[in-house]
Amino acid sequence: MSADRFRKWLMFAYAATLLAFIILPLLIVVPMSLTSSNSLAFPTPGWSLRWYAELWVDERWPNALWNSVVIGLSTTVLALLLGIPAAIGLAWGDFAGKRILYAIIAAPLVTPVVIVGVAAFSFFATLGLVGSKLSIILVHTAMAVPVMLTTVVASLSTFDRTLVRAAASLGAGAMRTFFKVVLPLIGPGVVTGAIIAFIISFDEVVVASFLSTGAERTLPRMIFSGVRESISPAIAAVAVLLIAFSAILLGVIAILQSRSQALRAKASA
């Protein structure tokens, strides 16, 4: 066996081992969600779909899902509206302090979430907004904008700006150029950022624990409360559904990245 082939097999074995280390603990949740017992147990004493049905019987779970979806979509829209113009300004702008401004915007990425939660609670408590969706949406937006900014800046870094000048020479205005030229080419990066922003908001539990009340509980907050108060197999059923949902979104991101590479190759051809 040649040295190159041995290295490829070694890297494949390493990647497979690492993937198994990450995924196998998640897969244990699947049989636990199908248990016929009233408590979490592995191996399961029997098989049943009762806990998946329980998710729709107990109205707290659909309400928590609805809250998470509303907050996640609202966060995604705000992250798009704020992140795309900021990314264009930082990627194409030439002004003093650009690096400092980028570092300030990216600060939520490196700030511990617990600190963000405590600060958000103190701030919104003075405004009387603790327990409202608006407070959670605003904090989640602050956490999602840096991710949106990063993905869009990455797309703009390979964008051929001569296309913008060509559109302007043909009489296209700034808005028409953006929607007809720029956005289609950076679209996969924008959608990828939007999906990641939604995942960040949908899965976030720390800030939601500080700012949500019983009526406004999100799905992760509901899971956390269930684990702390009463460990029910319904929690495992929710976890399985969330894992499947996240896997689908990650698959969409992979498809979008492939499409983005194809678009860039076609545009440069």
**Which residues make beta-bridge pairs with 35?**
47
* Separation between Cα atoms, residue 199 and residue 76, nearest integer Å: 9
Q: What is the pLDDT of residue 263?
A: 63
**Nearest CA-CA partner of 200 in 14, 37, 71, 9:** 71
User: What DSSP designation does 180 have?
Assistant: I
**Which residues make beta-bridge pairs with 139?**
none
* Separation between Cα atoms, residue 66 and residue 70, nearest integer Å: 6
- Residue 188 burial (CB < 10 Å; 0-12/13-18/19+)? buried
Q: What is the pLDDT of residue 260?
A: 66
Q: Are 97 and 173 in contact (CB under 8 A)?
A: no
Q: Are 239 and 224 in contact (CB under 8 A)?
A: no
* Separation between Cα atoms, residue 131 and residue 137, nearest integer Å: 11
Residue 15 tokens read as 């990647």
* Separation between Cα atoms, residue 213 and residue 27, nearest integer Å: 31
Q: What is the pLDDT of residue 81?
A: 92
Q: What is the pLDDT of residue 141?
A: 93
Residue 170 has φ and ψ, to the nearest 5°, of -90, 5
Residue 47 has φ and ψ, to the nearest 5°, of -115, 140
Structure confidence by residue, pLDDT tens digits, 205-220: 888 888 887 777 888 8
Q: Are 185 and 261 in contact (CB under 8 A)?
A: no
Please list the ranges in the chain whose pLDDT falls under 50.
Answer: none
* Separation between Cα atoms, residue 51 and residue 55, nearest integer Å: 7
> Token match 């081992």: residue?
17
